[in-house]
Amino acid sequence: MTLAKSIFLYLFLLVSLAGVAQDKFVFEETKADGDIPIDFITLLSDKYKNDVSTIDKKEKKKARKTKTQFYLESNFYINEVISSGNVLFNDRYTTYLNNIYKEIALKNPSLHREKIYFYAAKSTEVNAFATHSAIILINVGLLAKLTTEDEIAFVMCHEIAHVVKKHNIKQHIFNEEVDKKKGGYKKANWETKLYSKSNYSKKQESQADGFGFEYFLNTDYDPKAAISAFEKLKTANLPYGDSLEIPSLAPIKTQLVDVPEVPNLADIQIEEEEEERENKSTEKEKKKKKKKKKKKKDLSTHPALDLRVESIQVRINQVESNSNYSRTPNEVNKYAEHELPHLFLEKGMEVHTLYCLLNLMNESEPTDYQKDLMAKTLYALSQRKTYIEEYPDSVTSSYKKYWSSYKRQIKKGPKSLNRLLAWVNSMSNAQLNALALSHTLSRIKKVEDGGEAMTDRTVDLLEEYYKFYSKEKAGEEVIKMILKSDEHLLARAQKSNSSTDENNVVEPLENMIVLSPEYRQFDLRDEEVYKYVSSEEELISFSKKIEKAADMLKIDCNIISAIDFKNYTVEEFNELVLINQFLRENQITTPNCISSKKVEMRKLSEKYKTNNLSMMGVYSFVESKPVVLKVFALTYTTLIFPLLPFGVYYSFTPLRHTFNYTLLFDIEREETNYYNVNLIKMKDRRGAVNVSLYDHLKQLKDRGR
């Protein structure tokens, strides 16, 4: 009996523990994993050759040319997207999507001959898109929005239909026809052209809805999920529903900082300017607005959602059976929801991040990840506001521009975001800084990895807080007390003040990370302006040139190039992703702000033993010479006739310009500390590129000497 009791007790404890373990949701930012897929490794030139070989040689020459051009451009853009690092592979989302696709393909044997593959893209946009090469990208934003697998499956079927029906290439051929005024478009003006293209695209979308829905009907998913998917797309500008029920955020009381109270979110009234303006406007103005809206709708590439819902509903009614469907929940929805805040933060959309985090925190007990991200978001927001409002206009103009355009974007959006923005605006800089300070302080020493970066943020915020109290001529003692009471913080603050000058000392470049070198060739005389394939070939050799020049100058150089995934491990791929995220965020946040990726970037710095992140590239242009110049050269050299061969040569050769740039970014200081562009008025021959590249690296090597 005792044994039975013991076993029972043991089992009970095991079940309870398992339950607790399941409840605790641990989230880590999703990264690519496993082997790098063939789609990432294959060069543009190879993909292009494969596609061109599929063109029927019996087709007319012009049609073949159009298709060739399409394959070239399309493959180029696919490669650009893939190499941006925003596309994941072997991760939880991609695996999930391809499992769903297996289900769809199982019930739709016609799809077996298509080599369709799905990838998840790290984008907040509620969107998905198909490419000609049967790669379909589904954004994380969409996976966060759609709560059931059935809805996802419908969207996937829609995209599959685009691939099967070859909509991409058809749209390209149609656009060419319209642009070159062929067939019925001989006398078309630009407006007619726009409408024609938009109508054609709408037709394709409707066709994809129809065919996609047929694929979807063959599966075991609930057909009505198509309607609910469309319903959710109506609020595509917000990751979740427009909820006003989110809790307010209060400062976290600590012994160190005496923070002032902040307004309660629930008390914030949204200025309904838009509605008021709408009510006040005259009939004429209302009509004008309606017309504008209609025009915008007419030029859209997609049909109105209501119409799409209607047509799907008709088909549902036709096939409706009595079977009861139970929808399968979206397995990755929770992960996608957690993915969004940091993706928004990287884009400098702090109010959106705040909105996502408050929603997540409202659902369950805040996790370390959420608290950490909240601290970073509040920090970014307070630093942005302080920088914009307290620094001179001349310094902050571009950031002010961004902030006002972001605010405008929010104003057009849902009420919940507007209320959050109003709440942020209702706080003084000191209040916002104090709120951020309290949250940031609460994360110090609690998050092992983030400790140092969080401490740096705290010191930043303390400085702002100190300025506030100094301004008010009160509370100076308080801040001194704060600093005195924490030795670690005091040491950091002192270090940060004293090391400002030390940091400005420029040191010779000894080692660097080179991020995705660029090589772009343009022939402005051609219809095909961008030289896709030759640019790729040059890029491969450009990376080697960088390595050689760095080697000669004894600069330790690690090239992380998006073109050369073949030789990469997934860790290196993820490093590329991280650097891109870091730079994107840095571009949009104000210079007084420490990146949310600081900790990871510091690890990367340690690994490569350098803080120097370099970006290098070549842009080469060929263009026709102005006729005046040609005539002048010919006339002049005819007069001095021994020079005539030079005149003829000059007149019949194009103008060539080559730009070579080098930019050096300091990871620790988060600022560009070297930038040089050399315009070489020559063809981008190896000699010209090498000499300029070497010159830039030599300057970096010799600086500070």
Among 642, 672, 674, 704, binds another protein (CB under 8 A): 642
Count Cα neighbours of 675 within 13 Å in the Cβ-side half-sphere. Answer: 4
Q: Which is nearer to another protein, 496 or 678 (CB)?
A: 678
Least Cβ distance, residue 680 to another protein (angstroms)? 4
Least Cβ distance, residue 99 to another protein (angstroms)? 53
Q: Which is nearer to another protein, 218 or 676 (CB)?
A: 676
Of 574-582, 615-623, 628-636, 683-691, the window that binds another protein (rule: CB under 8 A) is: 683-691
The residue among 49, 51, 44 whose CA lies nearest residue 79 is 44
Tokens of 531: 């030289």
What are the strands of the beta sheet with 117-121, ordered from one edge? Answer: 117-121, 135-139, 128-130
Of 506-514, 584-592, 661-669, 678-686, the window that binds another protein (rule: CB under 8 A) is: 678-686
Among 98, 409, 511, 690, binds another protein (CB under 8 A): 690
The residue among 412, 453, 418 whose CA lies nearest residue 594 is 453
Of 34-42, 133-141, 599-607, 677-685, the window that binds another protein (rule: CB under 8 A) is: 677-685
- Separation CA 280–CA 289 (nearest Å): 13
Q: Which is nearer to another protein, 280 or 681 (CB)?
A: 681
Least Cβ distance, residue 557 to another protein (angstroms)? 15
Residues 651-670 that bind another protein (CB under 8 A): 658
Q: Which is nearer to another protein, 195 or 636 (CB)?
A: 636
Helical (H) or strand (E) element with 202? helix 190-218
- Considering the rule CB under 8 A, would residue 612 count as an interface residue with another protein? no
Among 125, 176, 518, 695, binds another protein (CB under 8 A): 695
Of 115-123, 314-322, 575-583, 685-693, the window that binds another protein (rule: CB under 8 A) is: 685-693
Query: Other CB atoms closer than 10 Å to residue 228's CB: what's the count?
Result: 18
The residue among 119, 104, 92, 105 whose CA lies nearest residue 331 is 92
Q: Which residue has the tokens 């070989």?
A: 53
Among 42, 86, 123, 692, binds another protein (CB under 8 A): 692
Residue 252 is classified by DSSP as P
Among 77, 671, 685, 704, binds another protein (CB under 8 A): 685
Least Cβ distance, residue 630 to another protein (angstroms)? 19
Q: Which is nearer to another protein, 605 or 690 (CB)?
A: 690
Tokens of 140: 């994380």
Least Cβ distance, residue 240 to another protein (angstroms)? 53
Contact 574, 607 (CB under 8 A): no
Of 156-164, 405-413, 626-634, 640-648, the window that binds another protein (rule: CB under 8 A) is: 640-648
- Separation CA 512–CA 78 (nearest Å): 29
Q: Which is nearer to another protein, 497 or 638 (CB)?
A: 638
Residues 492-551 that bind another protein (CB under 8 A): 548-549
Beta bridge partners, 679, equal: 659
Least Cβ distance, residue 533 to another protein (angstroms)? 23
The residue among 600, 584, 569 whose CA lies nearest residue 665 is 584
Among 197, 643, 652, 665, binds another protein (CB under 8 A): 643
Contact 111, 297 (CB under 8 A): no
- Considering the rule CB under 8 A, would residue 552 count as an interface residue with another protein? yes
Among 268, 447, 478, 691, binds another protein (CB under 8 A): 691
- Separation CA 288–CA 279 (nearest Å): 14
Q: Which is nearer to another protein, 451 or 617 (CB)?
A: 617
Residue 37 is classified by DSSP as P
Of 62-70, 353-361, 456-464, 638-646, the window that binds another protein (rule: CB under 8 A) is: 638-646
Q: Which is nearer to another protein, 38 or 629 (CB)?
A: 629
- Considering the rule CB under 8 A, would residue 553 count as an interface residue with another protein? yes
Least Cβ distance, residue 511 to another protein (angstroms)? 18
Dihedral of the alpha carbons of 29, 594, 611, 575, in degrees to the nearest 10: 10
- Considering the rule CB under 8 A, would residue 646 count as an interface residue with another protein? yes
Pairing of strands 612-623, 655-666: antiparallel
Least Cβ distance, residue 535 to another protein (angstroms)? 20
Hey, what amino acid is at 252? Answer: I
- Considering the rule CB under 8 A, would residue 678 count as an interface residue with another protein? yes
C-alpha distances in Å from residue 200, one per residue of 71, 220, 233, 426:
20, 32, 22, 47
DSSP labels, 269-296: PP--HHHHHHHHS-HHHHHHHHHHHHHH
Contact 560, 575 (CB under 8 A): yes
Of 211-219, 366-374, 379-387, 637-645, the window that binds another protein (rule: CB under 8 A) is: 637-645
Q: Which is nearer to another protein, 170 or 625 (CB)?
A: 625
Phi, psi of 518 (to 5 degrees): -115, 145
- Separation CA 417–CA 497 (nearest Å): 37
Least Cβ distance, residue 660 to another protein (angstroms)? 8
DSSP labels, 360-399: HHHHSSPPHHHHHHHHHHHHHHHHHHHHHHHS-HHHHHHH
Q: Which residue has the tokens 């710095």?
A: 605
Alpha helices in 504-590 (DSSP H): 532-552, 570-588
What are the strands of the beta sheet with 511-523, ordered from one edge? Answer: 556-560, 511-523, 612-623, 655-666, 671-680
Q: Which is nearer to another protein, 494 or 699 (CB)?
A: 699
- Considering the rule CB under 8 A, would residue 641 count as an interface residue with another protein? yes
Residues 271-310 that bind another protein (CB under 8 A): none
Least Cβ distance, residue 635 to another protein (angstroms)? 18
- Considering the rule CB under 8 A, would residue 676 count as an interface residue with another protein? no
Contact 315, 215 (CB under 8 A): no
- Separation CA 580–CA 583 (nearest Å): 5
Q: Which is nearer to another protein, 361 or 682 (CB)?
A: 682
Among 50, 110, 679, 704, binds another protein (CB under 8 A): 679
- Considering the rule CB under 8 A, would residue 554 count as an interface residue with another protein? no
Q: Which is nearer to another protein, 128 or 680 (CB)?
A: 680
- Separation CA 288–CA 379 (nearest Å): 43
C-alpha distances in Å from residue 429, one per residue of 18, 268, 381:
46, 17, 10
Least Cβ distance, residue 658 to another protein (angstroms)? 8
Among 46, 694, 703, 704, binds another protein (CB under 8 A): 694
Q: Which is nearer to another protein, 285 or 623 (CB)?
A: 623
Binding site for another protein (CB under 8 A): 548-549, 552-553, 641-643, 646, 658, 678-682, 685-688, 690-692, 694-695, 698-699, 702
